[in-house]
Amino acid sequence: MSITLRDALARLTVPELKDLARHLPGAETAGLKGEVIERIVVAMTDDPGSTRSGQPGCRKEPLLSWLE
């Protein structure tokens, strides 16, 4: 059985999610746990240089580098 990023984030507590989300632009507007999870998923999986317009890709830098 494999676990998805969304599944892993859903296991975090609300304070843990808010701590992660505070590093994201516009995170202060997300209120529901599902919205916070979705913002984190997008930030961690979206490749701004992707040629597949609008489709999530793989980041070229380490997964959690955006937290620094």
Q: What string of pLDDT tens digits covers the 68 residues of the chain?
A: 688 888 888 898 888 888 887 877 765 665 777 887 887 888 777 655 444 444 444 444 444 444 44
pLDDT of residue 62: 44
First-residue to last-residue Cα distance in the chain: 31
pLDDT of residue 66: 45
Query: What six digits make up the tokens of 13?
Result: 């507590």
Instruction: Show the domain range for 31.
Output: 5-67
Domain count, the chain: 1
pTM for this entry: 0.49
Q: Exposed (0-12), middle (13-18) or buried (19+): which is 8, by Cβ within 10 Å?
A: exposed
What SS3 string covers 6-29? HHHHHCCCHHHHHHHHCCCCCHHH
